[in-house]
Structure 1
Amino acid sequence: MSKPRFEYEYHKEGDFIIGGLISAHVYSQYTARFAFGSGGITSPPGDYVCEELDFEEYKNILVMILAINKINKDPNLLPNITLGYHIFDTCNDPINILGYATKILSGEKNAHNYYCKEHGEMAGFIGNSEFYSNNALAQLLSLYRYTQITYRVTDTSLKDGNIYPTLFHMTPDDRVRLKAVIKLLQHFGWNWVGIIISEDGSGDEESQELNKMMREHGICIDYIIQLKRKTINDFRTSGIITKSKAKVIIVCGTSITHFYHFVFHLHSFAENITFIFPPSWIKLTDLYYLKYTSLNYSFIFVWPREQKLNLDVYTKGVTFSSCLNDPLLEDIWVLWFQCLSPNPHKNFYFPKAYQCTGVRDVSTLLASHTTHPSFIYTAVYVLAHALHRMFMKKNKSEQNGFQHRLHKYVRNVHYTDPDDGEIFFNERREIPTDLILQSWISFTNGRPSYKTIATIQSPDYVPEQFPNVSDPVFWKKGKVPVSRCSDPCLPGSRKKFGSSIHKCCNECAQCPEGEMSSISDSENCMKCPEDEWPNKKQDRCVPRVVEFLSYTDDPIVAVFSAASILSFLLTGLILRIFIHYQDTPIVKANNRNLSYLLLVSIMLSFLCVFLFLGHPVDVTCMLRVTSFGVIFSVAVSSLLAKSIMVCIAFKATKPGSPWRKWMGAKLPNSIICVFSLVQVQICVTWLSISPPFQDRDTHSYQGKIIIQCNEGSVIGFYSVLGYMGLLAAVSFIIAFLARTLPDSFNEAKYITFSMLVFCSVWIAMIPAYLSTRGKYMVAVEVFAIMASSSGLLGCIFFPKCYIILFRPDLNTKTFIR
């Protein structure tokens, strides 16, 4: 391969030399370039040139020269020592950068391991901003232990201090930015994205790290495209992008050469694409001179703006003849002002140039391009401070062969700059620098404008949310784009895993009954707290309906209450009638005291209904079953005593019958006391061991909380009912046997019917009670109490009241005899 036709070199002697390897041209063309002239297609064979001048990197060369000149004038920094520089434009070519580095080190490009210089010793190198060039330079300089400072390379593979012990960085690596990218994707729910990598491979490591982080956070990559010449105009590449559901593209790498052409080809179908650019791509703003508005409303990470450096001394009022001493400035004149160059080969590559004269203000042209932070300015000062600290020491032995020890002083540099603040290297050999996320907002006929979204503070602070981006001004068409493989699962549903090969492509399944999801794309449905239940859409929890026999909400409670009160009053009226007619034969028959006791028991049983109505509490739960159990035991015991006395009374009518001694009030009172006390003992035992209590049933009915009484001991509950049923059965049998005895006021047949009603009600209540829940179960109990009490009242006392009130002729001793 022949020598490059155009070599861009800046050189100034000094006591110590700082090498600069900067890629002011961003592409090396190894094939012949064709030009159309009057004689057809011509080309100098076997040559290559550097193309596409990068104004920002040219300004970095000027900034480096400016910094060295300022240090030489500073009496407090490196006094009596002059710094020089040796700067090459590498054209972003690793072969070039190794050749130029060898020339700077030895004085001759091909004199490896030799030192041919007469003046000045090498202090260190400031490397360019491209990955592969820095990688090649780092491998070379690490062998010789020369200090190297990169001013805008963020690739993590160059941050290993064991492999590159003399390599330092002015900017943090990509990890902090990639964390911010992940947070940004999560914030907008973008889980299906594309990746574009620079043609020089500088984004390979970055894309791999990004892919790893995305997998950890459930984000997927649809495609990865490397920008090469053959892929730019490839219709398959265009088809991949246009057909993909990924509307967000993350750009990795540092070289933007082919992206210019890619944007030109992409312009027609990229209106719905949102790009996320790394900091080095800030130079894309130059595309707006070509009105490439398809990049509007994209995101870009940028470093803080550079401090104001006056470069007018190098660029203002420059004539064409004076700029010929600066090879890059000459290219600017030829390229932008289309002036003919004294070099015929340059004129061949710029065929439209003409003869120029006069003064042109180049500073205006350079100022029109986007500025980067002056990291290269700080890098020069870092080397100067490290040299100053080394040569201010009295130990002269360390100053011999200082180049191989200078990196230790660079590692410990710590000073404060009036403009840049505190300068030092952290454990990753990088200077902590904030990173700013901006929205790239521009207009068709204007310079691009930016809006700051968030600041990522070095080294590891990444914001969890980005609240400033909800405004429609940040988005194409005024709304956030959707970049997903499948539609989001709405609240009330969850992702259905296993329905697709790719985990980011999924179907949605409705949440199971009793569960909910309140966010989109929920992976799991959740159960509500015990006192809540999902609404119909299953997207939020609502308070459960509390259910019990309420006085305000249930009409049946009003019916029960009215029926209970009326029955109580009716029973009281019958009691008053019996007391008023207590001396009549029909009241005296079968022991009127037992009738009074039975009527009082029936009255209390009607009032007992109110213990079952309303909101249950522990006290009412303990009283409701035990109270009606004891009351009914007294009532049934009274009926049993009546039935027994009927039988004894008939037998005692015979002369000389031994049954006469059982006549009187002593026997029935004893029967009532004994059988009632047994029920009392059962209730006391039940309340002592495991009493009933208020319970909240959240399982029987969906969406309801049943406030009910838990019986505590099931054995105690059924013992009360069982004993009451036993008394009723015995009383029924005795009354049934005595029903045919010849007595005008024989109550046995009425007791038989009352016990038949009583037993029928409670036997029918058991299956109804077991088959219902909640307030309906309580309603069954209330109905059973009222029905059985009414049965006792109606079967026994209504016939007597009829005789007392409507047939007084039957209520006489004559009728009895």
Structure 2
Amino acid sequence: MDSTRPLEVLLAVDTVRPGHPNRSVAMQPHKQQSVILDLEEYKSILVMILVVNKINKEPNLLPNITLGYHIFDTCSDPKNTLGYVIKILSGEKEAPNYYCKGHGEVAGFIGESSYNSNHALAQLLSLYRYTQISYQVTNPHLSDGKAYPTLFRVTPADRVRFAALIKFLQHFGWNWIGIITSWDGSGDEEAQELSNMMSQHGICTEYIIQLSSDILSDAQTLRIISKSTSKVIVVCGNSMMYFHFLAYPLPPGIKDITFIFPPSWIRTNNVNYVYENFVNCSFIFLWPRENNPNMDVYTKAINFSSCLNDPIMEDLWIFTFNCLSPNPEKNIYFKLFDITLNPCTVTKDLSSLYTYITPASYVYRAVYVLAHALHEMYMKKNKSEQHGFQHRLSKYVRNLYYTDPDDGEIYFNERKEVPTDLILKSCSFINSTHSSYRTISTIQSPDYVPEPFIDMSDPSFWKTGKIPISRCSDPCLPGSRKKFGSSRHKCCYECVPCSEGEISNISDSENCMKCPDDEWPNQKKDRCVPKVVEFLSYTDDPIVTVISTVSILCCLLTGLILGIFILHQDTPIVKANNRNLSYLLLVSIMLSFLCVFLFLGHPVDVTCMLRETSFGVIFSVAVSSLLAKSIMVCIAFKATRPGSPWRKWMGAKLPNSIICVFSLVQVIICVTWLSISPPFQDLDTHSYQGKIIIQCNEGSVIGFYSVLGYMGLLATVSFIIAFLARTLPDSFNEAKYITFSMLVFCSVWIAMIPAYLSNRGKYMVAVEVFAIIASSSGLLGCIFFPKCYRILFRLDLNTKVAFH
């Protein structure tokens, strides 16, 4: 037996048939060898003995049946475990697989605390169909009901703790974790299972290291931890042996490491001299401290001489109280640890050695589970059946349900585990021998949902006085997202700003979200805000005030000119230029100035339909009037010749017909456009970032350009006719002014087209409004200003004599 290993035990409970004495086979140590004591394992032994004796005294539980036990030290060696199981099943003097029924039958097995030995035990007992109750090993691998049909556990598997651990890591944003496992390999599969579960929740494992007694390996472990960026280490496995090799001497680079321990690592008595600096302010998951049986009979008023018949208790006294042993070989062994031994004659109280939270209470539960299952089986047993019950015992354990006054409801869930609460505590070490625990959260069965974690902003919870940061990369703030690079860990990334139009409102977002069409990211890109609404507003745009003022003034000026023409309607100039056509043209120009207001303000469907159609019809009437004027000028010149056939075309019918026909064509185009696909209000959310352009959608592009094209055709024809008639001999030839007005009109609209197409939103509308005002002003100025000048300031030219 390796004298440096902690004491491990294999417990087995057997029944003795009525009439047979209670038989207790003592623990089997190796001859004349000592161990480094594990008080918790020894306490488990004492608890089992205490419970077995208690059950044997209970009249209502297993009446006429006496329980006994075997206890073996396996040294956590699966070979020893299998050998001792064969001895228990076959007898020490019998050959393997041969069973002599001359003594009590073996009902089941309890133990042990080592995963490797438990695993080997489960494999063997599954073949023989013997029931096995595990009180400490929580490795998820043993949850396979098909591989281990007779294995039951009185505590849940590690997956329960892992789920709570992941919640705890996420609570503090720790996603870059180191894992160390115990020397005996019990934490290897546990570490892999934990690493896989963490990766599913975005938590990465930087390294997995197994503890060792090898000096070179230990130095390499310290270098890895010192150079690592993770500040949180999760400990896996059952055994703490060699942990002190890692913790002492303490490297400066890992003083700020926070450890998270499993329940089995609560045994601080062996390495407490390094805990004050190394694992202070760390965390541990614990099973509730239930059913701690009264140990006074084993711990009160004990003297050394009474323990010499128990090698474990002898070692306990030597190791704890420096007692001199009668065995000189043991004294030499302990002196190797620089322990000065003295004779012990006084009575000691050992209760202080059992103040730690231990798994002993679950040994209590395991023995009672086996006893209750045996009781149920014996109560239902067929009288003709005398032996072989152990092969049916697992069925009774599986369906077991009872209520213990100290332990509550006991039953096995679908994973063959007794649901048990789990407690996360913070451990603080006042000095090398005193520690305190504060509850962080309780994970309640059977759902195992952690309660809210307590406020841990108090500096006393942390080594450095503040919450450590354990991340591979700094967190990506809202407004940015993760950009993963070449690292195989998804926890290592760069932070890049969200693209245009996207936001992230949480830290460490992997993807940015697009804002709705009517919203846009704010400057930090962490939330969407309403887009700026853009249109030619009366309240917000100064240009609207200018346009409105100019339009009103031009409209008033046009009305003034109309008044002048009406007032001087009998003068030669007004008559000579077909005053009815002049009136119609002035009214059309006035309406064109007023239709500008349809383009201003918040567009709606009605204004969108009216603005283009009214503009097109009004200008068609105006241009048709100019066309009629141009035609009438040509006819008037030809009709002055004697006997000219053009005289019959003189009069009001022809110009009126021209205006009606050509205007009616535009009306038909507009009505068709409105009937098929009319203009409507449209929200342009894509042309400009952060803006919603409220505009009028033409509906039918063909209809829109048909209106403009027809208006352009009229203007071109009118221009050509007026241009050809400009040289006709007359003292007042209106064709010249029509030519200039059409030249201005066409120039404005030709220049407007590229400017119109190159703009969006309110600027596009402003270009169109400018073209309307400019072209209307051109018509008004070129045709009517010279006439008004003659009417008002050159009366001598407004006579028949001057006219002819």
Taking structure 2 as the reference length, the TM-score comes to 0.92
CA shift at 1:539, angstroms? 3.9
Work out the CA distance in 2 between the residues paired with 1:650 and 1:14.
Answer: 140
Per-residue deviation, residues 649-686 of structure 1 (Å, max 9, x unmatched): 22222333222222222221111111111100000000
Distance 1:104 1:232, change over 3 A: farther
Q: 2:592 aligns with which of 590, 599, 605?
A: 605
CA shift at 1:84, angstroms? 2.3
Percent identity at matched positions? 73
Q: 2:416 aligns with which of 424, 429, 454?
A: 429
Matched residue type, 1:140: L
CA shift at 1:516, angstroms? 3.6
CA shift at 1:64, angstroms? 1.5
Distance 1:689 1:186, change over 3 A: same
CA shift at 1:375, angstroms? 1.1
Work out the CA distance in 1 between the residues paired with 2:591 and 2:152.
Answer: 96
Q: 2:40 aligns with which of 53, 56, 66?
A: 56
Counterparts of residues 80-229 of structure 1 (less than 5 Å): 80-108=64-92, 112-115=96-99, 119-229=103-213
Work out the CA distance in 2 between the residues paired with 1:24 and 1:362.
Answer: 23
Distance 1:565 1:474, change over 3 A: farther
CA shift at 1:276, angstroms? 2.0
CA shift at 1:7, angstroms? 12
Work out the CA distance in 1 between the residues paired with 2:26 and 2:602.
Answer: 85
- The residue aligned with 2:795 is 808
Q: 1:357 aligns with which of 345, 367, 370?
A: 345
Q: Is the 8 A contact 1:14 1:119 kept in 2?
A: no
Counterparts of residues 306-385 of structure 1 (less than 5 Å): 306-351=290-335, 352-367=340-355, 369-372=356-359, 374-385=361-372
Q: Is the 8 A contact 1:107 1:117 kept in 2?
A: no
CA shift at 1:334, angstroms? 1.8
- The residue aligned with 2:481 is 494
CA shift at 1:312, angstroms? 1.0
Work out the CA distance in 1 between the residues paired with 2:396 and 2:312.
Answer: 34
- The residue aligned with 2:16 is 15
Per-residue deviation, residues 277-333 of structure 1 (Å, max 9, x unmatched): 212112237644555332123232211222342211221122223333443333222
Matched residue type, 1:173: A
CA shift at 1:749, angstroms? 1.1
Work out the CA distance in 1 between the residues paired with 2:2 and 2:37.
Answer: 22
Aligned partner of residue 132 in structure 2, secondary structure: strand
Work out the CA distance in 1 between the residues paired with 2:589 and 2:553.
Answer: 13
Work out the CA distance in 2 between the residues paired with 1:744 and 1:722.
Answer: 35
Work out the CA distance in 2 between the residues paired with 1:8 and 1:438.
Answer: 28
Further displaced range: 653-662 or 412-421:
653-662
Further displaced range: 476-485 or 78-87:
476-485
CA shift at 1:464, angstroms? 11
Matched residue type, 2:257: I
Distance 1:617 1:471, change over 3 A: farther
RMSD (Å), alpha carbons: 3.1
CA shift at 1:458, angstroms? 4.4
Per-residue deviation, residues 521-543 of structure 1 (Å, max 9, x unmatched): 43333322212223444444333
Further displaced range: 209-218 or 559-568:
209-218
Matched, 1:73 2:57: yes
Per-residue deviation, residues 597-656 of structure 1 (Å, max 9, x unmatched): 111111111111111111111111111111110000111111111112222222222333
Matched residue type, 1:757: V
Q: 1:672 aligns with which of 645, 653, 659?
A: 659
Aligned partner of residue 350 in structure 1, secondary structure: helix
CA shift at 1:720, angstroms? 0.3
- The residue aligned with 2:516 is 529
Work out the CA distance in 2 between the residues paired with 1:483 and 1:123.
Answer: 49
- The residue aligned with 1:723 is 710
CA shift at 1:267, angstroms? 5.8
CA shift at 1:583, angstroms? 2.1
Work out the CA distance in 2 between the residues paired with 1:514 and 1:48.
Answer: 79
- The residue aligned with 1:636 is 623
Per-residue deviation, residues 453-507 of structure 1 (Å, max 9, x unmatched): 3333446645598575566554332433232334444444433334445544334
Counterparts of residues 229-378 of structure 1 (less than 5 Å): 229-231=213-215, 234-266=218-250, 268-284=252-268, 287-288=271-272, 290-351=274-335, 352-367=340-355, 369-372=356-359, 374-378=361-365
Distance 1:50 1:268, change over 3 A: farther
Aligned partner of residue 476 in structure 1, secondary structure: coil
Structure 1 unaligned spans of 5+: 29-46
Counterparts of residues 721-760 of structure 1 (less than 5 Å): 721-760=708-747
- The residue aligned with 1:777 is 764
Aligned partner of residue 248 in structure 2, secondary structure: helix
Matched residue type, 1:309: P
Q: Is the 8 A contact 2:27 2:71 kept in 1?
A: no
CA shift at 1:387, angstroms? 1.1
CA shift at 1:4, angstroms? 13
Per-residue deviation, residues 410-447 of structure 1 (Å, max 9, x unmatched): 12211112222221112222112222233334445773
Distance 1:172 1:262, change over 3 A: same
CA shift at 1:126, angstroms? 0.8
- The residue aligned with 2:643 is 656
Aligned partner of residue 347 in structure 1, secondary structure: helix
- The residue aligned with 1:456 is 443
Q: How many residues end up aligned between the 2 structures?
A: 796
Distance 1:291 1:197, change over 3 A: closer
Work out the CA distance in 1 between the residues paired with 2:278 and 2:382.
Answer: 61
Matched residue type, 2:303: T
Q: 1:586 aligns with which of 532, 553, 573?
A: 573
Matched residue type, 1:78: L
Distance 1:720 1:433, change over 3 A: same
Matched residue type, 2:16: D
Matched residue type, 1:358: V
Per-residue deviation, residues 343-363 of structure 1 (Å, max 9, x unmatched): 333333234221111221112
Matched, 1:595 2:557: no
Per-residue deviation, residues 143-192 of structure 1 (Å, max 9, x unmatched): 33222111011112222233322221111112222233334444444333
Work out the CA distance in 2 between the residues paired with 1:623 and 1:508.
Answer: 52
CA shift at 1:591, angstroms? 1.6
CA shift at 1:555, angstroms? 1.2
Matched residue type, 1:360: K
Work out the CA distance in 2 between the residues paired with 1:79 and 1:688.
Answer: 101
Q: Is the 8 A contact 1:250 1:275 kept in 2?
A: yes
Work out the CA distance in 1 between the residues paired with 2:620 and 2:429.
Answer: 92
Further displaced range: 63-72 or 792-801:
63-72
Q: Is the 8 A contact 1:102 1:112 kept in 2?
A: yes
- The residue aligned with 1:44 is none
Q: Is the 8 A contact 1:231 1:237 kept in 2?
A: no
Q: Is the 8 A contact 1:232 1:261 kept in 2?
A: no
Matched residue type, 2:43: K
Work out the CA distance in 2 between the residues paired with 1:802 and 1:464.
Answer: 94
Q: Is the 8 A contact 1:168 1:429 kept in 2?
A: yes
Further displaced range: 301-310 or 568-577:
301-310
Distance 1:703 1:175, change over 3 A: same
Q: Is the 8 A contact 1:249 1:274 kept in 2?
A: yes
Taking structure 1 as the reference length, the TM-score comes to 0.90
Work out the CA distance in 2 between the residues paired with 1:687 and 1:103.
Answer: 102
Q: Is the 8 A contact 1:390 1:399 kept in 2?
A: no
Distance 1:222 1:205, change over 3 A: same
Matched residue type, 1:355: P
Aligned partner of residue 397 in structure 1, secondary structure: coil
Work out the CA distance in 2 between the residues paired with 1:222 and 1:345.
Answer: 46
